[in-house]
Amino acid sequence: MNVWISLIASLIVIGGLVVGAAGVAGLAQYSHTPELLVLLGVVVPLLAFIAFIVGVILQVVKWGRRPVPFPIATVAGQGKSLPWIKANYFDAPYTKAGVVGRMALEVLTFRSLFRNTKMELHDGPKLAYGWQMWLWVFALAFHYAFLTVFIRHFRFFTEDGSLVFQAVMFLENLDGFLQLGLPHVLISGFVLLGAATMLLLRRLTNAQVRYVSLIQDYFPLLLIISIALSGILMRHVIKVDIVAVKVLIMSMLNFDFAGIGEKALAIGWMFYLHIFLVSVLLAYFPMSKLMHMGGIFLSPTRNLLCNSREFRHVNPWNYPVKVHTYEHYEDEFRERMIEAGLPVEKTLEETQEAAAPEEKE
């Protein structure tokens, strides 16, 4: 039941954002109120961008202040120990280069997700564990599609003649090589939408995953699905004047706000919905699970050397502990113990004899 509450709550929030933004933009267009459009299309995105940058930095610094005094790297292969035992270079890295390799493989190919397993109870009863690749497949498709979409948007941020502009045009030609429809269908947009939808469906159909899914899991997925959908709709169905869009964005990036109201009025409402949802994503990012973008680099289970079989690691903060051994205790209380009739290991005479030769030396 709680599962569905989380999903329904996320849907209500997303629905509210979509209807609210589209409604405000539509109303502003209808009543010729450029102030509202500038708010949605310029002010909110700029504030969200600041919140994103500052939020991410604060979160990373907060993590950086957490001490990790001891290697807690998890091994996924044979760690280095005796010379005749073959060590696994990337899954239990014992050199800095190995750690860099492990991190690169983790960041670029998501090897942790590749190891995803599923547990099933069969008749018998028999418990079965099996490899499940779907999380890894959808995550790969999702992240690389998102990266491509992100880079493609630099056509709104750069001018003709710059190197980035040329690179983006090259990428877009690759992305649209199917030459399907006009404007061309860009594969990355549909892969992004499809993979995000499959990740959502995985959450909903897999009982174990559904059980641990909360509103903070559904909300970012639904938000990204909405962003992808609004972008695709804007390109192919509910069109906006793309030149007017770039004029507005270029004014914003150059902080050139002269006549911004007129520029904003020239763009259809779909653009304002799209950019508002992106702003929500940006502002929400630093306080959400999406911070794994920075967190993956700060994972002590991945970015430390797996050399605890090679070297003995001692907590550098260990201070000399004050101990009170029985010998000291007896030395302190021997006379009173003897008076009370308690057994002692050394008598008074013995301690004096033992002390005497030491003094002579």
Partner 1 sequence: MYDSGKIITGLVIFVALFASPFILNVGGGAPAVPQPSLDTPAIKSMGNPVCVRENMQANHMQVLDLWRDSVVRDSNHTAPGIDGQLYEMSLSNTCMECHSNKAEFCDRCHTYAAVDPFCWDCHIEPPKEG
Residues numbered 230 to 249 that lie near partner 1 (CB under 8 A) are 239-243, 246-247
Q: Is 174 in the site for partner 1 (CB under 8 A)?
A: no
Q: How far is the CB of 107 from partner 1 (least distance, A)?
A: 12
CA distance 90 to 104: 10
| Cβ pair 89, 81 in contact under 8 A | no
Distance between start and end Cα atoms, the chain: 82
DSSP of 148-201:
HHHHHGGGGTS-TTSHHHHHHHHHHHHHTTT--TTTTPPHHHHHHHHHHHHHHH
- Count of C-beta atoms within a 10 Å radius of residue 283: 19
Q: Which is nearer to partner 1, 137 or 250 (CB)?
A: 250
Q: Which is nearer to partner 1, 254 or 315 (CB)?
A: 254
Q: Is 144 in the site for partner 1 (CB under 8 A)?
A: no
Q: Which two tokens stand for residue 53?
A: 């940058």
172, 225, 286, 308: residue in contact with partner 1 (rule CB under 8 A): 172
Q: Is 64 in the site for partner 1 (CB under 8 A)?
A: yes
Q: Which is nearer to partner 1, 52 or 90 (CB)?
A: 52
Q: Is 250 in the site for partner 1 (CB under 8 A)?
A: yes
11, 12, 19, 57: residue in contact with partner 1 (rule CB under 8 A): 57
| Cβ pair 304, 71 in contact under 8 A | yes
Q: How far is the CB of 356 from partner 1 (least distance, A)?
A: 54
Q: For residue 85, give the H/E element and its range.
A: none
Kindly tell me the number of DSSP H helices and DSSP E strands found in the chain. Answer: 16, 2
Q: Is 35 in the site for partner 1 (CB under 8 A)?
A: no
Q: Is 335 in the site for partner 1 (CB under 8 A)?
A: no
Q: Site residues (CB under 8 A) for partner 1?
A: 52-53, 56-57, 60-61, 64-68, 154-155, 157-160, 162, 164-165, 168-169, 172-173, 179, 181-183, 239-243, 246-247, 250-251, 253-254, 256, 294, 297-298
